[in-house]
């Protein structure tokens, strides 16, 4: 087994990396090269890859990103941006002994890399599909704190009766919400253009700011068509009287649909356009052969959010954040200064 570290994925390995990801049912959009390249641009960050080869064939990868700051040093996430899942990916062709060797190598090489690159704080976010990965990190990864999320994923029926099967999967009031939107004569279209992305961003910004939150920056939405094809993302738009009133941004990768950003104009929420958007998007995903709808992670304290997803037939998949203070003094730095220096990078629970 051979090991290598690369800053950015070498062009001649792009295909091998993508093939490795797609050979696993459990890999997510967050581990894709397109997403990493977008984040490098958007976050002014650096993507790195630990690579393991067997007989010159790529067999395992550990992707992560670094954000550097002159005052504080460097922070490492696998992966950054609203809790993107990271962690290692292994080929199905590896034996148990091979994976054990790679994991031992990962422990050693990670420590060496952090020391060499001046990493002051690092976080690994495990994959909700891989409980054994979370168990391994719990038992073997040197960490100072952990954080916890409930991954919520709805299985998408791939049947000729998908509409009926979905309705049976949902709990009230979801079927009632969908029927209300239909009765309100709301229509749904699938878009990929700038106009739809601008609408989504503007309403998302308004929604988040109205509850005191910090919205995603506009540049993220502007960069999407630059890094993703029309087959890899979609904006589902709800209209009433031919005017857009709601939208959801979805990403497609492997067998999973990522529910990334929803947005609804406040005055139209009573018509439940988002319910119809989700229903239509799930039906379309089923036609394309996707098997899972990932709602993303939920905090244990977010009871309302948890219930919202649960009523869409979501199943629980727990995962963790493993936080290491590579420089113990970083905890003494003002958190507001760290947040400003490392935007959209996870730091630690506070």
Both 147 and 14 in one domain: the answer is yes
303: in domain: no
Does one domain contain both 89 and 12? yes
Q: Are residues 86 and 122 in the same domain?
A: yes
Whole-number Å distance between alpha carbons of 156 and 100: 34
Phi and psi, residue 106, nearest 5°: -60, -45
pLDDT tens over the chain, length 350 residues:
999 999 999 999 999 999 999 999 999 999 999 999 999 999 999 999 999 999 999 999 999 999 999 999 999 999 999 999 999 999 999 999 999 999 999 999 999 999 999 999 999 999 999 999 999 999 999 999 999 999 999 999 999 999 999 999 999 999 999 999 999 999 999 999 999 999 999 999 999 999 999 999 999 999 999 999 999 999 999 999 999 999 999 999 999 999 999 999 999 999 999 999 999 999 999 999 999 999 999 999 999 999 999 999 999 999 999 999 999 999 999 999 999 999 999 999 98
Say what the pLDDT of residue 63 is.
98
- Determine contact, residues 36/76, Cβ cutoff 8 Å: no
pLDDT at 286: 98
Count of domains for the chain: 2
Q: What does the block give as tokens for 65?
A: 């990103």
Q: Do 188 and 253 fall into the same domain?
A: yes
Cβ-contact 306, 152 below 8 angstroms: yes
Res 45: pLDDT = 98
Q: How far apart are CA 230 and CA 191, in angstroms?
A: 9
- The number of CA neighbours under 13 Å toward the Cβ of 323 is 19
Q: Using CA atoms, how far apart are residues 88 and 91, in angstroms rounded to an integer?
A: 10
User: Of 182, 223, 217, which Cα lies nearest the Cα of 201?
Assistant: 217
Give the distance, in angstroms, between the CA of residue 333 and the centroid of all CA atoms in the same chain: 28
Question: 94 and 141: one domain?
Answer: yes
Determine, yes or no, domain membership for 169. Answer: yes
The answer to whether residue 88 is domain-embedded is yes
| 149 neighbors 83 (Cβ within 8 angstroms) | yes
Pick the closest to residue 348 from 336, 333, 331, 327 (CA basis): 331
Residues 161 and 196 in one domain: yes
Does residue 111 sit in the same domain as residue 200?
A: no
Beta strands in the chain (DSSP E): 2-7, 46-54, 57-69, 73-78, 89-90, 119-125, 145-155, 187-191, 233-240, 243-253, 256-264, 292-298, 315-324
- DSSP helix/strand/coil, 161: coil
What is the residue range of 336's domain?
2-152+317-341
Q: What is the CATH number of the domain that holds 135?
A: 3.40.630.30
The predicted structure's pLDDT at residue 308: 97
DSSP state string for 234-281: EEEEEEETTEEEEEEEEEEETTEEEEEEEEE-GGGGGG-HHHHHHHHH
Q: List the structure tokens of 300.
A: 């244990």
State whether 8 and 148 are in the same domain.
yes
User: Is 297 contained in some domain?
Assistant: no
Residue 271, domain member (yes or no): yes
Q: Are residues 24 and 123 in the same domain?
A: yes
Amino acid 72: pLDDT: 97
Residue 97: the pLDDT is 96
Handedness of CA 290, 37, 21, 95 (dihedral sign): negative
Straight-line distance from the first to the last Cα atom of the chain, in angstroms, rounded to the nearest whole number: 40
């Amino acid at each position: 087994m051979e090991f290598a570290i690369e800053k950015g994925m070498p062009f001649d390995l792009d295909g091998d990396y993508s093939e490795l990801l797609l050979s696993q049912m459990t890999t997510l959009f967050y581990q894709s090269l397109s997403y990493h390249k977008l984040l490098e641009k958007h976050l002014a960050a650096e993507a790195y890859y630990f690579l393991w080869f067997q007989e010159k064939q790529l067999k395992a990868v550990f992707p992560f990103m670094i954000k550097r700051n002159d005052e504080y040093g460097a922070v490492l996430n696998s992966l950054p941006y609203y809790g993107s899942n990271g962690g290692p990916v292994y080929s199905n062709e590896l034996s148990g002994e091979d994976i054990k060797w790679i994991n031992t190598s990962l422990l050693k090489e990670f420590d060496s890399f952090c020391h060499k690159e001046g990493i002051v704080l690092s976080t690994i976010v495990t994959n909700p599909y891989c409980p054994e990965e979370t168990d391994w990190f719990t038992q073997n990864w040197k960490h100072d704190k952990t954080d916890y999320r409930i991954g919520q994923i709805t299985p998408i029926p791939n049947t000729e009766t998908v509409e009926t099967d979905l309705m049976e999967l949902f709990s009230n009031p979801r079927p009632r919400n969908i029927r209300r939107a239909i009765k309100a004569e709301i229509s749904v279209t699938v878009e990929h253009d700038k106009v739809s992305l601008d609408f989504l961003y503007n309403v998302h910004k308004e929604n988040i700011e109205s509850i005191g939150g910090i919205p995603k920056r506009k540049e993220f939405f502007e960069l999407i068509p630059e890094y993703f094809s029309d087959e890899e993302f979609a904006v589902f738009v709800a209209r009433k009287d031919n005017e857009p009133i709601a939208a959801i941004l979805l990403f497609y990768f492997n067998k999973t649909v990522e529910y990334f950003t929803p947005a609804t104009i406040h005055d139209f929420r009573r018509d439940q356009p988002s319910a119809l958007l989700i229903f239509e998007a799930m039906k379309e995903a089923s036609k394309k052969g996707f098997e899972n709808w990932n709602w993303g992670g939920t905090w244990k304290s977010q009871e309302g959010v948890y219930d919202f997803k649960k009523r869409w037939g979501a199943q629980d998949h727990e995962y963790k954040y493993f936080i290491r203070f590579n420089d113990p003094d970083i905890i003494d730095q003002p958190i507001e200064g760290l947040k400003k220096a490392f935007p959209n990078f996870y730091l630690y629970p506070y």
